[in-house]
Amino acid sequence: MKLLRRISLVVPLAVAAACERAKSPPATDSAMIKPAGSTDSAAAARASTWNSNAGPVLLVAGQEPSQAFVVAPDAATADATLSAIPHPADVTLFSRSGTVQTAELPDSPSPGPCPTTTLSAAPPPRAWNVGFIGGVVSPLAIDSIESIPPTDSAALVVWMNRLASALPNDSAGRFAGLPFVVRSLWRLKLPGGTPMVVAGVTRQLNQEATPLQEYTFLIAEQSASDSSYSTKYSERIYGAEETIQNTDVLSGALLGSSRTPTLIVVRDFGDATAYALIERTGDGRWRARWTSNRRHC
């Protein structure tokens, strides 16, 4: 299932240079650097912790508004998890923009490596990305680059390029000095009003036989004292252009009574996808709490 929409945003060097003279980037809070293909998503799903406040499973929109892919927290116990879902079950659906809709799951999901189900009772009239059965979940609205004024988006692109350049390069230094391109960008506000930005940034090494690409996924928050941004979470991977992982934000949510800010993302590996919950911790950082097994759907 392909959910990624790539947007190339290139900032003129003169504009970037002017902004860099105004303020140097804050220090990076966290960074995780991994070569493409090094992550075993199934092992990650078993080792990490699903947030029970999100309900028993994650629903992801299929090809039709009434179709949903059903993602169990742990592949090893997926059959038992799916069979335990009550029928009918009330479903809450979120879009990336924070729109909330309701529907009903009348039957058990279909068996197999990619369980699906059909929603009924109140077919969603608008597009949705993720759904929850029960749980304690409320939406966290996210603006995509298309809905951000051009002046604001240009400034955010400069910031994301600057923060990406402050992260360590790969050990061989193959991408050092190459220009960054912001492929995707989202903006949101935390419950307390703190602005934050999420972005996917790439660099390209055009080799004749196997072009290489570096992909960086960033979460940054604005300082409470000024307009600067600092990195709160990052993933940097590199590999062949055709198979390198990309990450797309599906929706935002506030989970549990503590209203923990959480991003629901999909990781696209070219021939497979995996889903993840990235949550904000009490100390103001972000962490990848849970990752599903890879699905060849």
Q: What is the CATH number of the domain that holds 95?
A: 2.40.30
Q: Indicate if 223 and 282 belong to the same structural domain.
A: yes
Q: Indicate if 227 and 185 belong to the same structural domain.
A: yes
Give the lowest-confidence range in 233-242, 244-253, 275-284.
Answer: 233-242
Among 109, 134, 159, where does a domain finish? 134
pLDDT, average across residues 222-234: 93
Q: Indicate if 130 and 166 belong to the same structural domain.
A: no
pLDDT, average across residues 240-259: 93
Residue 37 in domain: yes
Q: What global pTM score does this model have?
A: 0.83
pLDDT digits (tens, 9 = 90+) for 96-130: 999 999 999 988 888 788 899 999 877 778 889 99
Q: Indicate if 164 and 258 belong to the same structural domain.
A: yes
d(CA 265, CA 255) in angstroms, rounded, equals: 15
Residue 4 in domain: no
Q: Indicate if 146 and 268 belong to the same structural domain.
A: yes
Q: Indicate if 159 and 116 belong to the same structural domain.
A: no
Q: Indicate if 191 and 278 belong to the same structural domain.
A: yes
Residue pair 176/168 in contact (Cβ under 8 Å)? The answer is no
pLDDT digits (tens, 9 = 90+) for 57-84: 999 999 888 999 999 999 889 989 999 9
Q: Indicate if 32 and 179 belong to the same structural domain.
A: yes
Provide the percentage of residues in the chain whose pLDDT is more than 90.
57
Among 134, 157, 176, where does a domain finish? 134
* Residues in Cβ contact with 47 at an 8 Å cutoff, skipping those fewer than 6 apart: none
Q: Indicate if 193 and 239 belong to the same structural domain.
A: yes
Q: Indicate if 221 and 278 belong to the same structural domain.
A: yes
Reported in sequence order, the residue ranges of 134-194 that DSSP labels E, i.e. its strands, are 137-139, 142-144, 181-189
User: Is residue 132 predicted with pLDDT exceeding 80?
Assistant: yes
Give the model's confidence band at 86: pLDDT under 50 very low, under 70 low, under 90 confident, else very high.
confident
Q: Indicate if 107 and 127 belong to the same structural domain.
A: yes
For residue 203, the Cα-to-chain-centroid distance in whole angstroms is 19
Q: Indicate if 212 and 238 belong to the same structural domain.
A: yes
Residue 232 in domain: yes
Domain extent for 23: 13-41+141-291
pLDDT, average across residues 180-207: 94
Residue 209's pLDDT is what? 77
Q: 164: which 2 tokens?
A: 């990406």
What is the tally of structural domains in the chain?
2
Q: What are the Cα distances from residue 250, in Å, to 2, 25, 156? A: 12, 28, 20
d(CA 55, CA 82) in angstroms, rounded, equals: 12
| Region of residue 101 (left: phi > 0; alpha: psi -120 to 50; beta: else) | beta
Among 110, 134, 158, where does a domain finish? 134
Residue 3 in domain: no
Residue 51 in domain: no
Residue 172's pLDDT is what? 67
Residue 171's pLDDT is what? 67
Residue 7 in domain: no
Residue 296 in domain: no
Residue 126 in domain: yes
Give the model's confidence band at 208: pLDDT under 50 very low, under 70 low, under 90 confident, else very high.
confident
d(CA 273, CA 76) in angstroms, rounded, equals: 17
Give the lowest-confidence range in 105-119, 152-166, 259-273.
Answer: 105-119
Residue 182's pLDDT is what? 95
Residue 39's pLDDT is what? 42
Q: Across the chain, what does the average pLDDT equal? A: 83
